[in-house]
Chains A and B, each alone.
Chain A
């Protein structure tokens, strides 16, 4: 479903080109659950952002669902992104001014989904994540684990084919982390969502079907589980 060819990303720091990603080749099939690991600063987040169309590579070719991303205009890219990709962050990144319900609803609004349909979809996912009771609370009134649950619910509300998660459990305790990972596995197995996650935890990485190790912007190793 996704293919990176020769992808590099570099910054100019003090006149020197420093490579954050260096000639990455990566193919991901639909239905995979990939864990990306590697030391801090190795370029994991950068890679994930490029895959998620939030960032652009300096060089290389990027194909997603058969489209050559590097040839697309901003508008087409945005349309492709909206309907196919969901993002989950370590720092949750919920909007403080919006309630749980509204946070989850927002992506649907941006997709021009009708109000009645939105209601049904949000009610459904609240129910599935068992956070119906929290729907009128604001992010500040939730625990970290609950906030991340809302973050995942929000990422999934548009039924994306690809879920990207940057250290989704980084701010959670191990029990909460495990719950999230269970949820990911279930999504992957039962709903067929392709998942790419960045994680520092060996144990959480094991939930995936493939583990990729990044080192200094290069793929150091890749093994299937």
Chain B
């Protein structure tokens, strides 16, 4: 019996190659995309969940706002005192760890014998790290691995890189040319789906600040392991009580500060804190992509469904005969389900193969290594069988019910029912609604991303080379600057604390001329060298850049004696209540630095364009620079680069050369959007492909059904173009309906998306018109082959066939 079902189904599918191929092609592509997307989603959702204590670990958020601030600052960077003090004070906390991103400002150089590497993922942590996070040790001892200053734990692949098959434990590595650190342990590689990623982890105690408990400064990430049963909310409450009661004296009036706790597993997708260890994902995109995955699958199923029901007329005869021969409805149902099952199975296998081939490219897009191996087998097997059953039922159940219910007598006369014509049309409209929606979204997202890239942010990013020089003494920087300034192709050079497109420093203006003594305004601040404004093309509205005299002042004197001079932006001046021209010469104090405002700049974007411009203060302070900014002239960039590199090598043979262009860094800030944009592009193409496939299939049958009508019309004198218009208009009507439904939906969705950007395009009508034209064109091309065939039919043949 079963064998007969298979044989019949198999033969039927073979005899109807076009339908079968269209169904399989659509479904296979749909299934492939579904697999890619679900794998991506799985990877996002399993983030940080592998930590044995994941449900008890929380991350501390550092939040503050002064009465003069427009916005709260919510940062993941916390003061050094947080962990040691709260661990002692609050009963619900079992343990805590401070983590410092040692390679955050520039790669760490690590030397073993003659091998010299730039390490980009080096963290320092308190010795409780392994107790809290519980990585598996391959060598060494978890409890004592970080207990002495200068100890260093490597991941397995890092250990292999340095020591091959030798035992790494006890070996000495020279870090940043000065520190000798001893390897005390080797752990398994850190999974890509961990928010804490590192190749090397050193002891936090090597930092000077590890010994002092400061509440007003710090560069660390703080994690707590809560006691089993302890509620994060009550711990958070106690922390804030401590802040308001015990630390009252340290709080400036008008400045409100509070701590928040986030569950470890919420950090990746749900956090709104800035400056985290890695940029966080967005749960919104997870929802969107899940939706896309399901939609794609449904679209592909619709194709199959439509083709089967479109063929119902043809199959009516067969069904009638089978019923006369004694087939029961159940048996016919099984037969049609078997056909659907075979198609699904073939599509599933092809889809799997396609996904296997597409994974490497998709991984690039997604930014993490994905593959079928991302799945544990115990999950993949149910996924695939679930997919098989769902798709088979989705595609098979309706036609099987519908077809098996045919009455034998009416059907054998050859009149197929066309009752479900409306359903079929509805489904095609649905497919095109989704296609049009995606087309509009793709165009708008692309438009917005291009807008950001080409927007005038007030900084001239082009041809600015950024070198990582993390903390090099200024006299050394100056020698190097002087050496390259004579080279051709270099216009100007300057140094700064941060990258100018991502200025992070949170400072506070604590006094200002004419303001009350407890005045306070949160600002972003950055120490810069003379020439910063000029090198980056930042316009000055009032005042002038620093002079060599200003420079000398801050370089020679002690911190207490320095007379600072500040360059503030327009927004800062406004926040202080000054017009640009009034601001010049006013005295302000920034975290203990007292001095006068020297210039006011036109506003420039120094952070993500998701945020609008906030007050920023530049000040000449030459203690610590991490970036050297080199403005090069256009033309023969390669030579200029080689020149800089050679000079660097001759000065610092032991520090690898690290540089990138500012443009590039800027673009990378929108990686999340670029990535979503990229994924959107692919899936728009897939949606359109599947929908057109469905339309094509439908066109085959509709035109076949209309052969007789077309023949008669031709006999009556209709021209080819009359016929093409007649037949295509039916399809185009469906597409127009889809456009009318999809456009407002897309408008709404994209409007929401754009709200996330402080700087955004306005939604203009031409995007919608363009999408509509594009869709109609695609649909027309899709059906044109079939309509032309119908139009060119020999009328005599068409009439005889009836």
Contacts and interface: CB of A to CB of B under 8 A. Distances in A.
B326 A107 contact: yes
Interface residues of A, number: 24
Interface string B4-27: 100010011001000000000000
B331 A97 contact: no
B326 A111 contact: yes
Interface stretch (A86-94, A193-201, A205-213): A86-94
A97 B325 contact: no
A97 B408 contact: no
A110 B408 contact: no
Interface stretch (B89-97, B316-324, B360-368, B549-557): B316-324
B745 interface: no
B412 A154 contact: no
Contacts of A89: 412
Interface string B465-494: 000000000000000000000000000000
B15 A106 contact: no
Contacts of B4: 109
A97 B328 contact: no
B320 A93 contact: yes
Interface in B15-53: 15
B356 to A, nearest CB: 34
Contact of A158 (B318, B326, B327): B326
A68 interface: no
A171 interface: no
B138 interface: no
A95 interface: yes
Contact of B326 (A75, A81, A91): A81
A81 B325 CA distance: 9
B769 interface: no
Given A78-B328, A110-B327, A112-B1, A95 B322 contact: yes
B781 interface: no
Interface string A105-120: 0110111100000000
B372 interface: no
B409 interface: yes
Nearest to A107: B325
A107 B317 CA distance: 16
Contacts of A109: 1, 4
A30 to B, nearest CB: 21
Contacts of B15: 97
Contacts of A106: 322, 325, 327
A210 B24 CA distance: 56
A106 B318 CA distance: 12
Contacts of A154: 325
Contacts of A110: 322, 325-328, 331
Contacts of B326: 78, 81-82, 107, 110-111, 158
Most chain-A Cβ atoms within 10 A of its Cβ — which of B11, B324, B328, B408? B324
Contacts of A142: none
B161 to A, nearest CB: 63
Interface string B539-561: 00000000000000000000000
A188 B1 CA distance: 32
Contacts of A93: 317, 320-321, 324, 412
A87 B322 CA distance: 11
Given A97-B11, A109-B1, A55 B322 contact: no
A42 interface: no
B1 A97 contact: no
Most chain-A Cβ atoms within 10 A of its Cβ — which of B12, B317, B326, B328? B326
B409 A49 contact: yes
Contacts of A98: 8, 11
Contacts of B412: 89, 91, 93
A85 to B, nearest CB: 9
A78 B331 CA distance: 12
Contacts of B318: 95-97
A54 B408 contact: yes
Interface string A47-88: 001000011000000000000000000010010011000010
Contacts of B408: 54
A89 to B, nearest CB: 7
Given A89-B412, A110-B326, A110-B328, A94 B321 contact: yes
Nearest to A81: B326
Nearest to A78: B328
A83 to B, nearest CB: 8
Nearest to B11: A97
Nearest to B15: A97
A214 to B, nearest CB: 18
A107 B331 CA distance: 12
18 contacts: A55-B409, A75-B328, A87-B324, A89-B412, A93-B317, A93-B320, A95-B318, A95-B321, A95-B322, A97-B11, A98-B8, A106-B322, A106-B325, A106-B327, A110-B322, A110-B328, A111-B326, A158-B326
Interface of B: 1, 4, 8, 11-12, 15, 317-318, 320-328, 331, 408-409, 412
Given A78-B328, A94-B321, A98-B11, 13 more contacts: A49-B409, A78-B326, A87-B324, A89-B412, A93-B321, A95-B321, A97-B15, A106-B325, A109-B4, A110-B322, A110-B328, A112-B1, A158-B326
The 10 closest A-B pairs by CB, nearest first: A82-B326, A110-B326, A107-B325, A93-B321, A110-B327, A87-B324, A54-B409, A55-B409, A107-B326, A97-B11
